[in-house]
Structure 1
Amino acid sequence: MSDLFFYGTLRHLPLLELVLGRPASKLEFAQATLKDHAVHSVQDQAFPMIVHEEGSLAKGLLLRGLSEEDQNRLVFYEGGFDYDLREQTVDLADGSISQALVFYPEPGLWNRGGRWSLQGWLDEWGAMTMLAAQEVMGFYGKVDAEQIARSFPSIRTRAWAKLAARQRATGDARDTAKDVIVHDRKPAYVNYFGMEEVALQHRQYDGSMGKVLNRSSLMQGSAVIVLPYDPVRDTVLLVEQFRAPIFLAEDPEPWMCEPVAGMIDPGETPEQAALREAEEEAQIALNRLEYAGGAYSSSGSSTEYLYLYVGLADLTKTIEDGGLATEGEDIRTQILPFSEFMDRIDSHGFKDLPLLAVAHWLARHRERLRG
């Protein structure tokens, strides 16, 4: 049995219950503090870090009498954040002290931000973190913590996309709580993408419940699609890059001409992601975004939702060193006159569906944008 001191997100009892797999009523815990330490946010991340800071006091939660299984589950979850356990002495409210293990970040791994607030984190990141933790703990006992650590940025991206999906009601009166029965739902694979399997029934158009269906889905985050357009020069910019799925399909031409595209990071709006991706992939600054619609890219197989934009810009140069080396991107760009671009659309010279969708939207709105 071990005692642990939690100073960060696991002070949120619903998250702690999810990670341990049992209710808080079955846990023994007390408020505690750790001297000469402070809890700071981590720059560009949704979780905190603890640092040695003379004279400061880190508030936290002391969890007593944890089983080996509890500790294994905690180490598995915290492994996604690259933390290690160290023993420290903590002070309790009744004046007593206790030895406890504390999760510390690997030295030099993160850059500290300002002082961290549990309530501030709950308001901004609580819902996303709960969704991400559900996916993480769904793989407990199936993959190791290192696999989760590698996959964690994508897990958070998928959680952020689920929050956005919950806001996409269009007025359908049917209620999934009454019209869908889930018999089994389980994670099947985790990496850059995830895979989930489900056995369910849904209400049919005659009012009856259909038979049990066994289905699987590629679990992805949401993405932005941006076609840069110069209304003065009447030109568009395309990016070209190698696409492994096209190669795996045994298409002899896996170098794809596409719009600028990329995943929406946690905390980003689609518009912010569109501006960022234009800079990263094409090294251009967009003057304005025109929303061309949003849709699921392949509703029968994937959760990916695409936000489509035309980005107005001054298109004067092409590059051959676009993208981020850290993501293995090798991108070049080309600028085409609008008439030539549409000729290639009409002669089926492109294989990217989002490009076709945005091209047809641009064709309908081009005169307005030029005016």
Structure 2
Amino acid sequence: MSNRIRHIERTVLSDNWYVLNKITFEYQQKNGQWVKQSREAYDRGNGATILLYNPEADTVILTRQFRMPTYLNGNTPDGMLIETCAGLLDNDTPDVAIRRETEEETGYRIHHVTKVMEAYMSPGSVTEKLFFYLAHYHPNTERSEGGGVEEEEIDVLEIPLTEAIQMIRSGTIQDGKTIMLLQHLYITQLTAQQGLN
């Protein structure tokens, strides 16, 4: 715990879906002065995301689904967002959770995943930490229907990696976690190719 933060008070503003807290605290500035501050923090738990990659075909698996917050902020005309598969941990370890989410959303049953990084995606307002993974898939990878659970309607897309990178540049892919994983994979592939030359 930081010795520059004291007198933390939490007030629940909403717990309709997840928990929105108002946090009031005192923060010691560099000059030694204590200043009372207030922030709102949305707590939805931690999550995980994964990019499935077929190295032989040089293709990736992405998903597409409706995201209301993006629709409200100009993702028109339909509010659909192209993303890597992702979901909350729900009390599982990140690697277990992401294998579960992968099957629910894409249908692919993945047994081996490789952790790439951890990142706070919106640290000014959301407590969530996201765990990033890569995994290989092939035409013979065991697969069920996918498409999400309950009210989710998730489209599964198989796209060449180079096309996905172009979709970032054109603005067709605008999701942060997806951009991070695609660029990580692309740079890794370029580095590997240069090492062979």
Shorter-chain TM range is 0.7 to 0.9
Partner of 1:310: 134
* Alpha-carbon distance change, 237 to 183 in structure 1, aligned in 2, over 3 angstroms: closer
Q: Find 1:203's aligned residue among 28, 50, 55.
A: 28
**Percent identity over the alignment?**
26
Q: Distance in 2 between matches of 1:262 and 1:272?
A: 11
Q: Please state how far the C-alpha of 1:231 moved relative to its aligned partner.
A: 1.1
Q: Find 1:255's aligned residue among 76, 80, 84.
A: 80
Deviations along 1:155-196, whole A, 9 cap, x unmatched?
xxxxxxxxxxxxxxxxxxxx42x2101253221110221110
- The aligned runs of 1:72-221 (5 Å cut-off) are 175-176=1-2, 178-206=3-31, 208-221=32-45
- The aligned runs of 1:6-21 (5 Å cut-off) are none
Retained in 2: the 8 A contact 1:320–1:332? no
Q: Distance in 1 between matches of 2:88 and 2:93?
A: 11
Partner of 1:300: 124
Partner of 1:361: 184
1:218 match: secondary structure? strand
Q: Distance in 2 between matches of 1:220 and 1:315?
A: 35
* Alpha-carbon distance change, 280 to 222 in structure 1, aligned in 2, over 3 angstroms: same
Q: Find 1:277's aligned residue among 101, 107, 118.
A: 101
Please report the RMSD computed on the Cα atoms of aligned residues, expressed in angstroms: 2.4
The answer for unaligned runs of 5 or more in structure 2 is none
Q: Find 1:235's aligned residue among 37, 48, 59.
A: 59
Q: Distance in 2 between matches of 1:347 and 1:247?
A: 18
Partner of 2:114: 290
Q: Given residue 307 of structure 1, which amino acid in structure 2 is its aligned partner? A: F
In our comparison, the structure showing a higher alpha carbon Rg is 1
Using the size of structure 2 for normalisation, the TM-score is: 0.87
Partner of 1:348: 171
State the structure with bigger RCO (CA 8 A, min sep 6), 1 or 2: 2
Retained in 2: the 8 A contact 1:319–1:332? no
Q: Find 1:336's aligned residue among 142, 150, 159.
A: 159
Using the size of structure 1 for normalisation, the TM-score is: 0.48
* Alpha-carbon distance change, 296 to 218 in structure 1, aligned in 2, over 3 angstroms: same
Deviations along 1:111-136, whole A, 9 cap, x unmatched?
xxxxxxxxxxxxxxxxxxxxxxxxxx
Hey, which of these two has a bigger chunk of helix by percent? 1
- The aligned runs of 1:31-42 (5 Å cut-off) are none
Partner of 1:60: none
